[in-house]
Homo-oligomer: A and B are copies of this chain.
Amino acid sequence: MSRVHNFAAGPAALPESVLRQAQEEMLDWHGVGASIVELSHRGPEFIQVATEAEADLRRLLSIPDNYAVLFLGGGATTVQALLPLNFAAPGQAADYVLSGHWGKTAIKQARPYVAAHVAATSEADGFRTIPAREGWQLSKDAAYVHITANETIHGVEFRDTPDVGDVPLFADFSSSIASEPIDVSRYGVIYAGAQKNLGPVGVTVVIIRRDLLERAGQPRADILDYRSHVKGESMLNTPPSWNWYLLGLTVKWMLAEGGVDEFARRSARKSGLLYDVIDNSGGFYRNEVDKAVRSRMNVPFFLHDDALDKPFLKEAAEVGLISLKGHRALGGMRASIYNAMPEAGVQALADFMRDFQRRHG
């Protein structure tokens, strides 16, 4: 077997050592004689796994004690529907800042429940920028302000946390959580599907400032109620336990590698390698995002002639560089380079890009 470098946007590459550990433990977790995927979520073995994963994630992200941390199924899109149901009164205003595709998804899911208001959008310029804070039109008495910290498809990211005063800031961090230090205390809710930067597909992390749980929200089933999930410690119903376990292994790996400070340094170097190739290609490769807000996680780019797209993907795959096709909404190419992508993988892609240009330029 030879492992490739996988640039998928999510589900995405996992650290090889994490996969090896999961492989070794697949039939017998720690001598119990059964796999962790077979064991009761309420038994001492899984409780240990779950407790450690939460403690490790709190350490990795420096999550203050006045925040609850949930590990749930359903994906980030489900969170986007539950945010207004849990934290807004029926018909209350909620502000959305749109900087790409996923911000639009967030507002779409919220619309049945709140007066969802576009406070700012960079759609007119093809989501190549982040709307400047001073232009945001915030509502009076909004339940929250929602942003997408990093846009996976459009490749733009917030470089710092916007100040929205006393209104809680809610942020979709699916594709950049744990990629650099952030001050959690400046957010009301942070959520992330794990399948990009935190580990495996099938589990979503929701970090909620506890005082927000006192909001009445809207009539809803118990299983759609974050108060109940917090009270039930993410086990209101059977959680995606294997996925939670694999997330835990990935978080341990991130801590052992040096934590978010180290990943911030690596991400700067990794994304820099690719943007350098693109910017120095004389137009052979093109990234159209405002350089000040280019994503360090997702590098979308176009070849100067889209007839070269197919050869590019084919030749890349031949040298073990896969999943480089851009999202269908945008076309072109995209390299997703989350924490688990080694620098050697990104270097290999940069080298390939230069070589491809030499041969096809």
* Residue pair A33, B238 in contact (C-beta under 8 Å): no
A73 at the interface (CB under 8 A from B): yes
The 8 Å CB contact of A27, one of B8, B19, B78, is B19
Complex alpha-carbon distance, A75 and B80, angstroms: 18
B73-A202 in contact (CB<8A):
yes
Smallest CB separation, A165 vs chain B (Å): 28
A1, A41, A200, A240 interface centre (most CB from chain B within 10 Å): A240
Select the stretch in A109-117, A134-142, A267-275 that faces chain B.
A109-117
B112, A221: Cβ atoms closer than 8 Å: yes
How far is A209 from B110 in the complex, measured between Cα atoms in Å?
28
Q: Find A242's partner among B1, B200, B224 (CB 8 Å cutoff).
A: B200
Q: Binary interface profile of A, 220-257, with partner B (CB < 8 Å = 1, else 0)?
A: 11111000000000001111111100100000000000
Among the stretches A10-18, A143-151, A279-287, A290-298, the one at the interface with B is A10-18
Size of the chain A interface, CB-CB below 8 angstroms:
70
Task: Tell me the number of copies of this protein.
Answer: 2
A27 touches B23 (CB 8 A): yes
- From A11, A14, A110, name the one whose CB has the most chain B CB atoms within 10 angstroms: A11
Q: Are B26 and A26 in contact (CB under 8 A)?
A: yes
A41 to B327, CA, bound (A): 13
B202:A241 contact, CB within 8 angstroms: yes
A273 to chain B, nearest CB (A): 21
User: Please, how many angstroms separate the alpha-carbon atoms of A34 and B81 in the complex?
Assistant: 33
| A196 CA / B27 CA spacing, docked (Å) | 17
Listed by A's residue number, 26 A-B pairs whose Cβ atoms lie within 8 Å are A6-B39, A8-B43, A10-B40, A11-B40, A11-B238, A19-B26, A23-B26, A33-B320, A37-B201, A39-B323, A41-B201, A72-B74, A73-B78, A74-B223, A75-B237, A78-B237, A80-B221, A80-B223, A111-B221, A193-B238, A200-B242, A201-B238, A201-B239, A202-B240, A240-B240, A242-B243
Which 4 pairs of residues, A with B, have the shortest CB-CB distance? A202-B240, A81-B221, A4-B33, A73-B73
Known: A72-B74, A76-B237, A242-B242. 12 other contacts (CB 8 A): A4-B33, A10-B238, A23-B27, A32-B322, A41-B201, A78-B237, A80-B223, A109-B221, A111-B221, A112-B220, A202-B240, A242-B243
